[in-house]
Amino acid sequence: MANLAVKALGLSNPFVVAASPATQGVYAVLKSALARPGAVTMRNFGHGAGDGSIVLPSTADMLAGKHAIQSHALGASLRDPFPSLEAYCEAISQLRRDMPQETKLWVSIGHFRDLTTAGRDWRRDWVREAREAERAGADALELHFNTPGVAVSGNRLFDFYRLIYTATRAIKRALQVPVLVKLPVESCDPLRAMEAAVHGGADAIGPTARWKGFVFDLDWRRSLATPGGGYGGSQALPIICYVVAEARLNGIDAPMYAGGGVFSWEAAAKLIMAGSQCVQLGSFACCLGPNAVSRLIADFAAWMDRAGYRDLEALCGEALQLFTLPPAMAEERRARLAAANQAAQPDPNLCTGCGQCVDVCWYDALSLQNGLAVKSEACVGCGYCFQVCPTGALQVPAGDVLASTFTEPLS
């Protein structure tokens, strides 16, 4: 069995059920812990009621990658279960007693409104909250800098990176347990934000791909969402993979628990291959519950075994090789694919003569003759025609062609 432990953070596996309705209050945290993730991050105290937190347009659409999601929407407002910091800390103590030891209890503190409320000494408040949460038994503290729009809220000129740095440093100095810094990729330079956290002493960083968004219907009066934070979805995954890879290639080597658009074990594997040790599960956990999280973890572990990865270290960052291919190899991949594209001829048995390939050929290399597509020497191998062919009459096994560059001698 592959070893799923994340040594750098002392986790039994890389999955973190992230701060959300799935982690707000004792009942929700315990329920999320049933899936035995590596950690559950308890949603921050003082979040307040107000914004509803649901996913739109539907879980089925979210899983099918059909549509973005919007966490802050109309509907039931979530009650803040904690009237005071004392009550929050009592809950932390109870949770640490009742949760399985193998799942870490991460505790989120802070909120972007704190940063912009005039006259409030938010840094002092955060340090106090962090100290109390640590005393109550939190395994790690997470600083909540990620809410979409945080970098521009209030005053567009305020120095977000300095805030991250000074807050991280102040809290790190006050605590013994690890300090985790959850960051946005929106409205800021994610690389600079990560650097600020690392320089402040963060034990791990959690870049999180979510944006302010505006989801609405043509009949806008029927729209459920409110304009604002929480736009994400499967389309966020390539972006967060890029952010993680860019950080790794720029020398940021702090442990990472990135998130955004992970709705399957495959997506989790990709984010880890891009260089993140751990993976946040936000919408997925909220929308599907602990059994689905548990299945996702099991499916991920089964794939690790099938694919022959002994442990997470073997997997983490593997795809970074695609960024750093030697130029000769990169050129060979390009050339082999272009040659295969050029060589492929329409299969007359599958062609229906629909003409879509002719429509999309920018080199006048495709024409219809006797109701069938015919390709001429003018083809440059760009590949647009393969994308539109509805019957597979024009196709190329692109994956095999590309993989061959790693197993066969370069030309």
Ligand X SMILES: Cc1cc2nc3c(=O)[nH]c(=O)nc-3n(C[C@H](O)[C@H](O)[C@H](O)COP(=O)(O)O)c2cc1C
Q: According to the binding rule CB under 6 A, does residue 146 interact with ligand X?
A: yes
- Euclidean distance between the first and the last CA atom of the chain, given in angstroms as a whole number: 39
Residues 219-258 that bind ligand X (CB under 6 A): 232, 236
Q: Residues 59, 276, 277, 280: which binds ligand X (CB under 6 A)? A: 280
Q: According to the binding rule CB under 6 A, does residue 282 interact with ligand X?
A: yes
Q: According to the binding rule CB under 6 A, does residue 32 interact with ligand X?
A: no
Q: Residues 12, 59, 71, 277: which binds ligand X (CB under 6 A)? A: 71
Judged by CB, which is closer to ligand X: 43, or 336? 43
Q: According to the binding rule CB under 6 A, does residue 21 interact with ligand X?
A: yes
Binding segment for ligand X (CB under 6 A), chosen from 28-36, 42-50, 125-133, 151-159, is: 42-50
Judged by CB, which is closer to ligand X: 19, or 197? 19
Q: According to the binding rule CB under 6 A, does residue 204 interact with ligand X?
A: no
In three state form, how does the secondary structure of 265-276 look? HHHHHHHHHCCC
Cβ at position 209, least distance to ligand X in Å: 7
Q: According to the binding rule CB under 6 A, does residue 78 interact with ligand X?
A: no
Name the nearest CA neighbour of 183 among 118, 104, 112, 278.
Answer: 112
Specify whether the CB–CB gap between 230 and 147 falls below 8 A: no
Q: Which amino acid is residue 364, in one-letter code?
A: D
Specify whether the CB–CB gap between 166 and 123 falls below 8 A: yes
Cβ at position 312, least distance to ligand X in Å: 19
- What residues have CB less than 8 Å from 169, skipping those under 6 apart? 200, 201
Q: Which two tokens stand for residue 312?
A: 């997470």
- What residues have CB less than 8 Å from 179, skipping those under 6 apart? 130, 140, 141, 143, 168, 171, 172, 201, 202, 203
Cβ at position 331, least distance to ligand X in Å: 36
368 forms beta bridges with: 373
Q: Residues 108, 153, 276, 405: which binds ligand X (CB under 6 A)? A: 108
Q: Which residue is associated with the tokens 């060979």?
A: 332
Judged by CB, which is closer to ligand X: 112, or 336? 112
Binding segment for ligand X (CB under 6 A), chosen from 3-11, 39-47, 82-90, 264-272, is: 39-47
Find the helix or strand (DSSP H, E) in which 104 lies.
strand 104-109
Specify whether the CB–CB gap between 102 and 297 falls below 8 A: no
Q: According to the binding rule CB under 6 A, does residue 143 interact with ligand X?
A: no
Strands (E), 127-284: 140-144, 179-184, 204-208, 211-213, 228-232, 257-258, 278-281
Q: According to the binding rule CB under 6 A, does residue 168 interact with ligand X?
A: no
Chain contacts with ligand X (rule: CB under 6 A): 18-21, 43-44, 47, 53, 71, 108, 144, 146, 182, 208, 210, 232, 236, 259-262, 280-284, 286
